[in-house]
Amino acid sequence: MGCEHMLPPHRDGSRLDEPLELEQLPSSREWEGRIAYLDRDGVLNVGLEEYVNAPDDVVILPGADSALGRLRRAGYRICVVTNQSPINRGLWDHENLAGIHQRLRSILLRGDGDAVIDLILYSPYSPWEGSWARKPNPGMLEAGRQLLDSAHSNPGSEPEILYGHEWLDRPDESTSVLVGDRSTDMGAAESYGVMGIKCDSSLGLASVVDAILGDGNE
């Protein structure tokens, strides 16, 4: 799929291609390229049948804060990848979503000071728009990897983000993981080429973090 025909992902808080500033990993640990791509609702916070529509709707799942902190202490960068079609359905706007994400970040950090989300990408598109950025397509994961790699290797530079067959120089994702609660998440993991772990939406990230880290990986 050519870039000129795709609807790209959006980035929380800035333009997609704006240079990304990364916080140091805990204990000044050197990043070795591992990324935890996380769905949002049902992984970090409680999902609602009629959407999380406002900052006051944000309730994190039990242990999500400490699980996120454990991942970062183990050397993972955190990239949230979330479908948010209410925007293009006309239910609310990008600014409202930014407030939701600000609330999410704040609650997580209150519970664990290492529970930093390095990057949030979202797809505002409705299913019928056919965006490469909407899961189960892998566009958000492709952009997330390139943004994080660029911020690490070339801080301050604007990355050129490529998608699909146009992105030829792809890194090894064998140490990365995607966690989600839906089949669309697992489809995105498969199409991108990263291990996918499906969690129970009532339990979220905390229920699978031990499986991700295994013995001796913290």
The residues, any chain, with a CB within 8 Å of residue 62's CB and separated by 6 or more, are: 203, 204, 206
In order of 90, 127, 148, 154, 183, the CA distances from 132 in angstroms are: 20, 11, 19, 26, 16
Please give the Cα distance from 145 to 77 (Å, whole number).
10
Average pLDDT over residues 98-127: 97
Average pLDDT over residues 60-70: 98
In this prediction, residue 134 carries a pLDDT of 96
Residue 187 phi, psi (nearest 5): -65, -40
Annotated active-site positions, please?
39, 41
**pLDDT more than 70, % of the chain:** 96
Give the residue extent of every domain in the chain. Answer: 3-209
Q: In the predicted model, is pLDDT for residue 111 greater than 70?
A: yes
Q: Categorize the per-residue pLDDT at 215 as very low, low, confident or very high, splitting at 50, 70 and 90.
A: low
Top CATH class, 3-209: alpha beta
Residue 82, SS3 per DSSP? strand
Closest CA to 136 of 199, 176, 81: 81
